[in-house]
A and B are shown apart, each in its own frame.
Chain A
Amino acid sequence: MSPLLIALLGVMLVPLFVATWRTSLLGLACQGLLLAWLAYDVLMFKPLAGLEVWMFKTLARLETMPDLATASQAGAWLTLFDLAVIRGLVAPAALYAVLRARAQPSRDDVLPPNLLTWTLALGIVLVAFTVSESLVAAAGQQQTLVFVAVAGLLLGFLVLSTQSSPLSQMIGLLRIENAIALFELGGEPEPALGIQLAQVAVVVATIALFRWYLKSVSSASGISAAEAVADGAGAGDALVEGPTL
């Protein structure tokens, strides 16, 4: 198995068992940077040993077509920018700035700290391995890539399903998006540059909205207050209200 993919699986797993938000964000940053490294190997014609991916084959074909090859090169750089800068640096930094500004207590359980969820997390890794075996028959790098992507996806869902705080949910969601990005690396050729740009814009807009929501949690009229109201009144039934559009 590729050391990079193993390292990626490691940074997907370890932060789940270390209950601080800084570790979670560091884990996200590491995921982004490792993904970028993987992408670099794939996109810049240095495939990992035995890693046969569509993208590589397609890019190799495109070498004979200068215009397309240039466009593809730009797409490759955009992918690297997305993974390394946006997902690896901007996303964790944007959330970090908000949490630091409001002096968030360092403890933050990404998973509930009990044996059941830890067993579930490890069980998910085994399930991911079985799934990858059934999806990719031949053992090899492609199977490993699918295994790590499925594990990342399922772990992201585990985080989402066991947590109700917006921060943990954001981390869960970003984990899922990273897993999909990994899956994309081993898949079909890149889409057109415009579509790729739009995809990056969507990621940036999502992060900006995350930041906005996270800020409002700390404000007096934030989600915590809303939860208190809803818990008291039942199912969001604050029925008497002022005018709205």
Chain B
Amino acid sequence: MNPARFLPALLMAWPVLASLALANPKVRARAAHLLVVVGVVATVLAIWVAVPGAAGRTGDEWGLADLVRVDATARLFLVVINPIFFGVSVYVWNRVQTTPELDAGLPRTVGLASLFLTAANVALLANHLMILWLALEATSLLAAPLIVRAGVPSSRRASWRFLLFSAVALSLVLLGFHCLARGMPGAPTFFIDELSELAPRVEHTWRKVGLALILLGLGTKLGLAPMFSWLPEAYDEAPPSVTALLAAVQFNCALVALFRVVQVFRPGNEALFAGMLLSMGVLSMVVSTVSIIATRNMKRLIAYASMNHAGVIAIGMGLSKGASFGLLLYVISNAFIKAILFLTAGKIKAHYRTKDTRRISSLIRDLPYSGVFLMVGTFALLGFPPFGSFVGELLILSALVSSGQLLVFGAFCLLITMTFVATGRTIFPMIWGAPQAQHTWPRQTFVSAAPKMTFLVALLVLGIYIPPVVSEMIQQVASSLEAP
């Protein structure tokens, strides 16, 4: 028996075991170390699982009745979210080392974050729509308490709104699944691989209603208009490490859920997918662009930029042909960009004690690492070469033209230009502006910069040279997303 077939189960179970270890007082005292260990082991396991030899349905050996599936989509996103979690864990460890008062309440955070990682990995590996839904629910329920910061009442309000919107969104998704089941000929199934073979290619009223509800629900989880208002508030109020988890890990889990639905149900429902995703995407870009122009809050600005990116992703998914490879490049780049920017924002806020962009300046001198990361992250955010986001955006734009969506293309170009000007106007003075005060902070250590440095390398790799293994995975996922 190939032991590699047990790896997915180990990957899912490992963070749970680690969180159980927190019951031991000795382990609790080293909670930050444990989080790093969780991250590094999960990353190694994820990379191992992503190796093609470990692919295939693996639930049988564990009595999971085919509930687990390691396909290209799962493999690709496993090697995105687990390293990001690892990077966040190093960031948290470093924060606790430099700010010992943060140690209080850390075991709770580590326990919840570890379980969050399990739920995220389950969402990626699930071969059953209900398991996928349950895993998404679990990520939301576990993330909600993480958003709350002791002594900051507004964070509790943001946490409540996050939970409320998540619950509504996932209720819509659940209802959508039940509508889909009613629209299936014969005995309904929720197994994704069976659905791929059984899903009929003709339109059906229940199926259309179901898909519309699912798109609306998952769109809400992704922070797409019209139900987006939770996102800027939650991303702003949560601790930066949690924001990075929400923006780079949970976002991708919800996106994978959307991918699963698109992979199965796009044939026969192209018009519905195109109509809903393109309109939600453009609307999200409009709302986020206006908000980027108006805000003076560093974290909110990045949050609105994330909304903007979600809009671009929705537009890319709305196109049934030609955009998928670019879309995936954009999605993966986006995950690393958001992790870099939110962690950098956390570092900047920890030093300046403010998120007000008008009160932060001369970053490149005061905090050289953070200044560079903010600068490079912003360039990647705005879709500059040589980053993967540039290539991705270019391919999506090209697909918009080739599919005849010229109106969307025009709106896209206009909004992206406005975003570029508004973001640059706010961010660049923070980096190069004249110093407002003399700061004498200790020099940033290499360890504090290492996670962001790694993410940056990944971004560059995606833009300059994609390794064949990764390229093959992206190709496979891209072809599964396109209309036949």
Q: Which residues of A contact B (CB under 8 A)?
A: 54, 58, 134-135, 153, 160, 166, 169, 173, 176-177, 180, 183-184, 187-189, 191-192, 195, 198-199, 202, 205-206, 209, 212-213, 216, 221-223, 225-227, 229-230, 235-245
Contact = CB atoms under 8 A, between A and B. Distances in A.
Nearest to A216: B156
Nearest to B181: A188
Nearest to B152: A241
B57 interface: no
A82 to B, nearest CB: 14
The interface residues of chain B, by DSSP majority, are classed as helix
B241 interface: yes
B202 interface: no
Given A188-B188, A195-B128, A198-B134, A239 B239 contact: no
Nearest to B350: A243
Contacts of A58: 187
A206 B297 contact: no
A244 B353 contact: no
Nearest to B209: A135
Interface string B128-148: 101100100110010011000
B109 A245 contact: yes
Contacts of B241: 245
24 contacts: A58-B187, A135-B206, A153-B175, A169-B164, A173-B171, A176-B168, A180-B171, A180-B174, A195-B128, A205-B141, A206-B141, A209-B145, A212-B145, A227-B157, A230-B154, A230-B157, A236-B236, A237-B356, A240-B356, A241-B152, A241-B354, A245-B95, A245-B102, A245-B346
Given A237-B296, A237-B297, 20 more contacts: A176-B168, A180-B174, A180-B175, A188-B178, A188-B188, A189-B187, A192-B65, A198-B134, A216-B156, A221-B151, A221-B156, A222-B156, A226-B154, A227-B157, A235-B297, A239-B355, A243-B99, A244-B239, A244-B240, A245-B239
B188 A189 contact: yes
B354 A239 contact: yes
Nearest to B188: A188
B187 A209 contact: no
Most chain A CB within a 10 A radius of its CB, from B102, B134, B153, B356: B153
A213 B160 contact: yes
B255 interface: no
